Structure 1
Amino acid sequence: MSGQSELRINTEQGAVEDPGRRNLLRLSGVSAAALGAASLLPTPNAEAHTMTNDWDKVFPRSANVDHQKISFKNRYGITLAGDLYLPKNRANGRLAALAVGGPFGAVKEQSSGLYAQTMAERGFVTLAFDPSYTGESGGAPRNVASPDINTEDFMAAIDSLGLHDAVDRERIGVIGICGWGGMALSAAAVDKRVKAVVASTMYDMTRVMSKGYNDSMTLEQRTQTLEQLSRQRWTDAERGTPNYQPRYNVERKGEPFMIDYHDYYMTPRGYHPRAVNSGNAWTITTPLPFNNLPILTCISEISPRPVLFVHGEKAHSLYFAQTAYAAAAEPKELMIIAGASHTDLYDKMDVIPFDRLQSFFNQHLAA
């Protein structure tokens, strides 16, 4: 990525590293995928944020939906924070439900909450949640991601929905946005309680981190990345706390899709102080498990349950959806939105095909 400054060790502030760090983050894919590069962050000390009851979303509250904050545990014992949305004029019967997650590095007050509230307006019980180690969810150290734990987070959300009095536990689907599109597919492949899946503007985070964008990483580059990430573990172990990647450069420059990310995460449109992508950062070693734990290996085993891929025609990430669609078994659908970019499907109400999402889930989560 252009515009990166040379980085050097500053252990007093928890900052790393050598002049090759910028190449490490670029090659690992996590820097661009989660909005890397400028000044380094000190180690976040708080285990988690206390859940607030204030409406601190980046979208307006709907008068047609009841909202409540909830918490639930995943099977690793981490307490996850969620926003539960229920149709206001719901009958006494149990409803179909949706667990909603993403994008990668975002929080539930952003895109996932918007999707969840909108689908609740359309008759579903929905749950948007913060992944482990991020947002208002628990886990320490902060701002760590894992293809295993994050897949588990989706399944824990399904646990929670299935225990709610308003939910028919035999009619649960999932929506994954951006990097959580891949997590949704990973969860559905093993969790047979999921009856239908939507992956919107999806990334396969294990692919981009292990192979780079458009699979451009060479074996030599991958080896260099893993060598440096491995040695970073000694640095972190010696300090007793992890070092963090550079945070996003708030200037609007770089690749066009990075400008799109900036215009969502770093402006009033989508900025949220708890989001990793809104000026915060992942741990440097976050890419390690993404390099050898491909999450879409068993995607064909979602069948006979249906999968709907939704992606923008002009999205830099379209190839992720096309490859995943080819690997999935029937029934499946790839819906390409004309003229749409990757981030248009985060929050553009006139671009996100909510009518299609509603008809898809109405059909496949029917009583």
Structure 2
Amino acid sequence: MNEKHRFRNPAEQRGADPGRRDLLKLTGTGVAALGAASLIDVSSAKAQAMTENWDKVFPRSGDVDNQKVTFRNRYGITLVGDLYLPKGHATGRLPAIAVAGPFGAVKEQSSGLHAQTLAERGFAALAFDPSYTGESGGEPRNVASPDINTEDFCAAVDYLGLHPAVDRERIGILGICGWGGMALNAAAVDKRVKAVATTTMYDMSRVMARGYNDSVTPEQRARTLEGLSRQRWEDAANGTPAYQPPYNELKGGEAQFLVNYHDYYRTPRGYHPRAVNSGNAWTITTPLSFMNMPLLIYIQEISPRPVLLIHGEKAHSRYFSETAYAAAAEPKELVIVPGANHTDLYDKVDVIPFDRLTAFFNRHLSA
């Protein structure tokens, strides 16, 4: 069934929200211009030891049990997640959802909030830190990969399918922001995934290869790749990767969506010290693999399993979901949330269409 909806919500759009450093620094001429002069000293960073303390940016629910868990992907990297189960669940096998994102965030932020809320609604939900970030393993720190991060979702499905509380034939995935593209890619390749949803989705391979709104010219792309290629010699000579400037610092005059990123990642609303976006940084060469490996080439192969794409009406990134929706095969749904910007869908529980997410997964993860 081809469905395209506008989700109705009476809540007014609130002011500026989350922030991340301008992703244009990862695309076009920005990367080449960074060079070695803009490094920050995070080369010695390690994956932080797991904490059992509640260090989320959202309140704990009394209707949910939470447990810190670990599992390994097929590259041997140990991933750390939070498993949320309905309070006191003892018998029977539950439908399950693996959740990750946004790009540069950690499980203590938006993905954990989504997972906890879905557990309140009857699902087993696993929010996890992708490889090389947060509490998960992998070195160097704060590097991303379209392949390895797609695999991270598949490894989460491995874990859920072996858990005694989970029905392995009823597993879905949810990707937020940049991990929306990874979720769609994982669903295309991993036929165990029965349903996939994204919120406020970014196609990171597209934005890094072409810039926002596909504005990067072939000449700019070539210059960027020249700079990134030569940065590899610098990294090899130094024995450690160079890093971009700290993310989401404002100097004045930034576009509104960058102010929104800052208001999430750099304020008490969403700040977390382990998040790349909360004043840390990706490696300078992180864009390389994304620029050469498009994520959504095989999106049609998700069918006949269903796809749900949710985006804000006012989001600068809305075109990513609309393009993905047009490319996907049936069954598919596109939900546009009136008045919402990109980061409203990170944590504003009166704006995020949880009823729609719940209905989607209930319908397609039914016994």
Asked if TM exceeds 0.5, the reply is yes
Worse overlay, 131-140 or 251-260: 251-260
Q: How does 1:66-105 map to 2 (within 5 A)?
A: 66-90=65-89, 92-105=91-104
1:261 alignment counterpart: 261
2:342 alignment counterpart: 342
Structure 1 residues 155 and 29: CA distance shift in structure 2, 3 A: farther
**Structure 2 unaligned regions, length at least 5:** 1-20, 32-36
1:310 alignment counterpart: 310
Q: Which amino acid aligns with 2:208?
A: M
TM-score (norm 2): 0.90
2:366 alignment counterpart: 366
2:323 alignment counterpart: 323
2:250 alignment counterpart: 251
- Distance, in Å, in 2 between the alignment partners of 1:46 and 1:26 is 22
Alignment pair present for 1:215 and 2:190: no
Deviation at 1:249, TM superposition (A): 4.9
Q: Which amino acid aligns with 2:343?
A: T
TM-score (norm 1): 0.90
Tell me, what secondary structure is at the counterpart of 1:68? strand
- Distance, in Å, in 2 between the alignment partners of 1:64 and 1:29 is 47
- Distance, in Å, in 1 between the alignment partners of 2:27 and 2:130 is 21
- Distance, in Å, in 2 between the alignment partners of 1:238 and 1:215 is 34
Number of aligned residue pairs: 341
Q: Which amino acid aligns with 2:272?
A: H
Deviation at 1:46, TM superposition (A): 3.4
Tell me, what secondary structure is at the counterpart of 1:70? strand
Contact 2:248 2:266 in 1 (8 A): no
2:110 alignment counterpart: 111
1:135 alignment counterpart: 134
1:292 alignment counterpart: 292
1:53-102 Cα deviation digits (max 9, x unpaired): 00000000000000000000000000000000000143511000000000
| Structure 1 ranges of 4+ moved more than 3 A | 22-25, 29-32
- Distance, in Å, in 2 between the alignment partners of 1:44 and 1:224 is 26
- Distance, in Å, in 2 between the alignment partners of 1:117 and 1:23 is 30
Worse overlay, 249-258 or 103-112: 249-258
Contact 1:252 1:259 in 2 (8 A): no
Q: Which amino acid aligns with 1:119?
A: L
1:194-223 Cα deviation digits (max 9, x unpaired): 000111000000000000000000000000
- Distance, in Å, in 2 between the alignment partners of 1:267 and 1:29 is 29
Q: How does 1:21-100 map to 2 (within 5 A)?
A: 26=25, 28=27, 40-90=39-89, 92-100=91-99
Deviation at 1:43, TM superposition (A): 3.1
Contact 1:175 1:198 in 2 (8 A): yes
**Structure 1 unaligned regions, length at least 5:** 1-21, 33-37
Q: Which amino acid aligns with 1:256?
A: Q
2:144 alignment counterpart: 145
Deviation at 1:28, TM superposition (A): 1.4
Deviation at 1:47, TM superposition (A): 2.9
Tell me, what secondary structure is at the counterpart of 1:137? coil
Deviation at 1:45, TM superposition (A): 1.4
- Distance, in Å, in 1 between the alignment partners of 2:153 and 2:329 is 21
Deviation at 1:23, TM superposition (A): 11
Structure 1 residues 182 and 119: CA distance shift in structure 2, 3 A: same
Q: Which amino acid aligns with 1:215?
A: D
Tell me, what secondary structure is at the counterpart of 2:194? strand
Deviation at 1:250, TM superposition (A): 2.6
